[in-house]
Every structure is written in structure tokens, then in C-alpha cells.
């Protein structure tokens, strides 16, 4: 075997591994923007008193956010991206559930006030 051919034969296994090496070094997105969006969504849910009105949804969002942070710290950006997106959706759900509960409470309060007003109006009509 000539020296040039010997070099090619020694390099052939490396050439076969090259695509796998390049794929493992592929660029992945930085999860930081998604983590920040999820954190902001959690903040909105907390401000809307989701801990009171939608505790299970808020708890799930918090758990996924913590898992996303751990994945990011463990240098698992794909997992961090997925978990951050799920945390954001859960936080938005908690926010919506909290707003719904607060709106329903406001409607019930108005219904009671209306009933009290109607009762007073009925009493006034009877006294005339």
C-alpha cells in the first residue's frame, strides 16, 4: 500500500464519524427568551391572584418553570425550551381561570345588589 493510500484508509473512519460529530455540535436556540416570557406570564398570573382563584394551574406552571430552569442549568436547551413554553401556557391558563373566577364573583355581587334594590323598590310600591 502506498503511503498516500494508507493515509486515506486511516482517515476513512474519521470521515464516517464526521456527520455525527457535526450533528452533535448543531446549534440550538438559547432558552433565555422563552424562560423570560414564562416568568412574565407567571408574574401576571400571580398579580391576578391566581394562587387564590386557580391554585392548581399556578402550581403546575411553577413546577414546569422550575423544571425549565433546571434543564437550562443542566445545559439541556431543548428540554428547557419545551418546559418554558408549557409553563407559559399553564401560567396563561391560571391567569384566565383567575380572571374568570373574579368576574363570576363580581356578577354574583351585582346580582345580590340588584335583588336588594328590587326588594326595596317592591317595599316602596307596597307602601304607596
How much of the chain exceeds pLDDT 70, in percent? 76
- Overall average pLDDT of the 11-17 stretch: 53
Place of cell 399556578: 58
- Which residues, other chains included, contact 80 with Cβ-Cβ below 8 Å and sequence gap of 6+? 31, 34, 35, 68, 69, 71, 72
User: Residue 122 has what pLDDT?
Assistant: 83
Per-residue pLDDT tens over the stretch 87-100:
999 999 999 999 99
CA distances from 86 to 8, 35, 41, 75, 82 (A): 49, 10, 11, 18, 6
The answer to whether 74 and 111 have CB atoms below 8 angstroms apart is no
d(CA 115, CA 15): 83
User: Residue 11 has what pLDDT?
Assistant: 55
Per-residue pLDDT tens over the stretch 19-68:
555 555 555 789 899 999 999 999 999 999 999 999 999 999 999 999 99
Domain ranges, ordered by start, for the chain? 26-100
Amino acid at each position: 500500500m502506498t503511503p498516500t493510500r494508507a493515509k486515506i484508509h486511516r482517515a476513512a473512519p474519521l470521515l464516517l464519524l464526521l456527520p455525527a460529530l457535526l450533528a452533535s455540535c448543531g446549534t440550538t436556540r438559547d432558552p433565555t427568551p422563552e424562560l423570560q416570557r414564562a416568568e412574565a406570564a407567571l408574574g401576571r398570573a400571580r398579580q391576578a391572584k391566581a394562587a387564590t382563584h386557580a391554585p392548581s394551574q399556578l402550581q403546575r406552571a411553577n413546577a414546569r418553570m422550575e423544571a425549565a430552569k433546571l434543564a437550562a442549568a443542566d445545559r439541556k436547551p431543548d428540554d428547557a425550551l419545551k418546559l418554558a413554553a408549557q409553563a407559559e401556557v399553564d401560567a396563561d391558563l391560571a391567569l384566565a381561570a383567575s380572571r374568570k373566577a373574579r368576574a363570576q364573583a363580581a356578577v354574583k355581587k351585582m346580582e345580590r345588589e340588584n335583588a336588594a334594590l328590587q326588594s326595596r323598590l317592591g317595599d316602596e310600591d307596597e307602601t304607596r
